[in-house]
Amino acid sequence: MSELDPVIHAQARLRIVSALATLDPEEAITFPRLQELLDMTAGNLSTHLRKLEDPGYVEVAKTHEARTPVTYISLTRRGRRAFEDYTESLRDLLGGRS
């Protein structure tokens, strides 16, 4: 039986990765927009993003636009693959394989 990735399996991180997986591979979302979509505090979102950033599942890019700091979040290729593996393992666990 496949095991679920413990990094993704935490509820908040699963919500983050699920939201990021809806973006095209080359797209990113701003931190405030992701925070709004997930209805999370900035501190909570930051903490979980760090846990996803450590294994290389998400990329956090800080930049400036018209002198205003902006943080973009994107799912890396490795993160997308980990999420695909996670969902496949979940299907296996639930007996969804034919």
Q: Which tens digits make up the pLDDT trace of 64-95? A: 999 999 999 999 999 999 999 999 999 988 88
Residue 98's pLDDT is 47
Residue 2's pLDDT band, with cuts at 50, 70 and 90, is: low
21 Cβ contact list (under 8 Å, min separation 6): 75, 80, 83
Question: What long-range pairs does 66-73 form, CB within 8 A, spacing at least 24?
Answer: 70/30, 70/31, 71/30, 71/31, 72/28, 72/29, 72/30, 72/31, 73/20, 73/28, 73/29, 73/30, 73/31, 73/34, 73/49
Q: Which tens digits make up the pLDDT trace of 20-42? A: 999 999 999 999 999 999 999 99
In the chain, where are the structural domains located?
Answer: 6-92
Residue 73 β-bridge partners: 29, 60
CATH topology of domain 6-92: Arc Repressor Mutant, subunit A (1.10.10)
